[in-house]
Amino acid sequence: MKLLGRLRAIPVSYRVPFSVALLMVVISAAISERVLDRLSRTQESFLAGLVGSYLDGLSASVLPAVLRGDVWEVFDALDRSESSYAALSPIETVVTGIDGKVLAASDPKRIPTYADLPLHYLTRYGADPVTLDEKALTGFARRDLMYQGQEVGTIHAAFDVSHLFAERREILVTLLVTNGVLAGLFALGGFLLVRRMISPMRVLENHMRAAAHGSARPIPPSEFPSRDGEAASLFKGYNVLVHAERERADLAMQLAEEEKLASLGRLASGMAHEINNPLGGLFNAIDTLKTHGTTPGVRDTSISLIERGLQGIRDVVEAALATYRPERSARPLAPEDFDDVRLLMTPELRRRRQRLACSVDWGDGGAKSIEGGPVRQALLNLLLNASAATPEGGEIGLHACRTNEHLRIEIVDQGPGMPYDSIVMLTAPSPGSVVRAGLGLGLWMVRRMIDELGGSATVASRSEGGTAVLLVLPVRREETQDEQSHAA
């Protein structure tokens, strides 16, 4: 299993030629086995034929001598047959008589005449006409000498069969070399062919990898395969997907922008109201000044009223500017941003007769890695949602706490609880399905801010009722260290 796993880890462009080579080796092994088997059968039948004719010839020439017990004639026949049957390479031939004793052997010094035949000569034969002893490279055969239906003697013969095994070895080596070269060529061919075949897939794979890292690009026409219809249609499909994704992202951006504008509209109307309120007072003060400007007490009071009214308008305008002017939104988050958010929320809170409980525990220094703009926009969205969810006359909360590692921001409301889709949007690892459904674009912008800053969000129900959304944004260590060193 481990090996299989490792094999799977090998790229397909190597795995396939390797498999082809392996297959070739298996096939060649099977073919070699068949060829050698066939060869050995042919050799054995050829040898059996040769041995048969040797024994036939020898039987005919020794039979009369065996009948007479003529030792010399038997030996002479054996001696002459050695040169006559050189192709068979007889090693030793022994002829026994009717009593089973040796009449003559081709080498009488080894097997003396009139001696008993050694026992192993009788047991060395198998069922086949020729028994092969591969270790000794020797073949054995025997032939009973029959005369008038009776056995009058036996020929025991041993042959040198080393040439048969040498031939088999030679053919095995030839097969191995040929098949090895063929397997190598097939493997190389397979490697090149598979590389060529899967090269479009590699292009697709590279694009998909890039897309997984956030930069989905369509495959340019120059990288399209010229003939491969299947791969080309895949490429086209991929490009359609990329275009669709881009369109969807554009649409989402557009929707987010619209949402932003919508919230801006709401805020603008609130702001207009906020500006309008002091304006009435201001005009009254101006009228008072026109009429009773000469009276020092009235004049001072009116001017003071006008000054305070204008200060209120300036605060509102500054908060709006800080939130919606891009050059300002790029600066790092600061405690003042929370004041701005609170100020921007004031008209909406007043409209709904709600209170905002706000606490900011910022400590020393700033948070350079956290851009102020997106956070303010996100907090504004979350607070607007919290306000909308909380009944009129209720209370919402904004609590921020900055430590060396994190900035924790909690937004609480007194609403009936956050919808499931909204929770998914904020907390799920991939909120794709909810985003695609076009739900909660304001929350989607919050989510984007969290992801971009590498933070996280949790949504919890409060025991006293309502919902608490907790954002945890990382503060980079070096910047806190910088701050500490600056402070020191």
Partner 1 sequence: MPERGILGSRSTTRREVLTLGVGAAAYAMSRSGASAQDNTFRFGLTPVFLSNDLELLKLLRDYLSSAIGGSVELVTRRTYQEITALLVAGQLHGAWICGYPYVQFKADLDLVATPSWHGKPLYQSYLITSAGREIADWRELRGDIHAFSDPDSNSGSLVTRALLAENGLQSHSFFSRTFYTYGHRNVIRAVASGLAQSGSVDGYVWEVMLEIEPRLVEQTKIVRRSEWLGFPPIAAPKSLAGDPRVASLRNALISMPKDVDGRKVLALLRLDGFVKTDPGLFDAIAAKVETVRRFG
Among the listed ranges 9-17, 100-108, 307-315, 465-473, the one in contact with partner 1 (CB under 8 A) is 100-108
DSSP SS3 for 161: coil
| Closest to partner 1 by CB, 52 or 69 | 69
Residue 100 makes contact with partner 1 by CB under 8 A: no
**Smallest separation (angstroms) from partner 1 to the CB of 70:** 7
**Smallest separation (angstroms) from partner 1 to the CB of 134:** 30
For residue 211, the one-letter residue type is A
**Smallest separation (angstroms) from partner 1 to the CB of 106:** 9
> What beta strand segments (E) does 13-129 contain?
90-96, 102-105
Contact status, residue 347 vs residue 277, Cβ threshold 8 Å:
no
How far is the C-alpha of 13 from the C-alpha of 21, rounded, in Å? 13
Helix (H) or strand (E) holding 159: strand 150-160
| Closest to partner 1 by CB, 46 or 114 | 114
Residues 30-89 that bind partner 1 (CB under 8 A): 64, 67-72, 75-76, 79
Q: How many CA atoms lie within 13 A of 450 on its CB side?
A: 26
| Closest to partner 1 by CB, 94 or 161 | 94
| Closest to partner 1 by CB, 56 or 79 | 79
**Smallest separation (angstroms) from partner 1 to the CB of 172:** 40
**Smallest separation (angstroms) from partner 1 to the CB of 37:** 41
Residue 151 makes contact with partner 1 by CB under 8 A: no
Q: How many residues bind partner 1, per CB under 8 A? A: 18
How far is the C-alpha of 402 from the C-alpha of 1, rounded, in Å? 52
Using CB under 8 A, pick the residue from 52, 57, 108, 218 that binds partner 1: 108
Residues 456-485 that bind partner 1 (CB under 8 A): none
Residue 254 burial (10 A CB sphere; 0-12, 13-18, 19+): exposed
How far is the C-alpha of 405 from the C-alpha of 414, rounded, in Å? 30
How far is the C-alpha of 195 from the C-alpha of 247, rounded, in Å? 34
**Smallest separation (angstroms) from partner 1 to the CB of 63:** 8
Q: Which of 52, 58, 133 is nearest to 95 (CA)?
A: 58
| Closest to partner 1 by CB, 115 or 208 | 115
Looking only at the bridges linking them, the beta strands covering 406-412 and 395-402 are: antiparallel
| Angle, in degrees to the nearest 10, between helices 12-68 and 71-84 | 150
Over the window 110 to 139, marking each residue x when it contacts partner 1 by CB under 8 A and - when it does not, the resulting string is --xxx-------------------------
**Smallest separation (angstroms) from partner 1 to the CB of 130:** 26
How far is the C-alpha of 312 from the C-alpha of 334, rounded, in Å? 21
How far is the C-alpha of 469 from the C-alpha of 473, rounded, in Å? 13
Looking only at the bridges linking them, the beta strands covering 332-333 and 367-371 are: antiparallel
Residues 389-418 that bind partner 1 (CB under 8 A): none
**Smallest separation (angstroms) from partner 1 to the CB of 162:** 25
| Closest to partner 1 by CB, 72 or 283 | 72
Residue 182 makes contact with partner 1 by CB under 8 A: no
Residues 4-33 that bind partner 1 (CB under 8 A): none
| Closest to partner 1 by CB, 113 or 288 | 113
Residue 107 makes contact with partner 1 by CB under 8 A: yes
**Smallest separation (angstroms) from partner 1 to the CB of 89:** 19
Q: Cβ neighbours of residue 50 under 8 Å, at least 6 residues apart?
A: 85, 87, 88
| Closest to partner 1 by CB, 82 or 339 | 82
Q: How far is CA 318 from CA 41, 156, 322, 337, 371, in A?
A: 104, 123, 6, 11, 18
| Closest to partner 1 by CB, 68 or 163 | 68
Residues 331-390 that bind partner 1 (CB under 8 A): none
Residue 183, phi then psi, degrees to nearest 5: -60, -40
How far is the C-alpha of 432 from the C-alpha of 17, rounded, in Å? 40
| Closest to partner 1 by CB, 46 or 72 | 72
Residue 147 makes contact with partner 1 by CB under 8 A: yes
Q: Cβ neighbours of residue 147 under 8 Å, at least 6 residues apart?
A: 63, 67
Residue 34 burial (10 A CB sphere; 0-12, 13-18, 19+): exposed
| Closest to partner 1 by CB, 104 or 271 | 104
Contact status, residue 110 vs residue 93, Cβ threshold 8 Å:
no
**Smallest separation (angstroms) from partner 1 to the CB of 78:** 10
**Smallest separation (angstroms) from partner 1 to the CB of 100:** 16
Contact status, residue 354 vs residue 396, Cβ threshold 8 Å:
yes
Using CB under 8 A, pick the residue from 104, 313, 379, 434 that binds partner 1: 104
Q: How far is CA 448 from CA 75, 76, 279, 286, 457, in A?
A: 109, 110, 39, 48, 11
| Closest to partner 1 by CB, 90 or 466 | 90
**Smallest separation (angstroms) from partner 1 to the CB of 31:** 49
Which residues bind to partner 1, rule: CB under 8 A? Answer: 64, 67-72, 75-76, 79, 104, 107-109, 112-114, 147
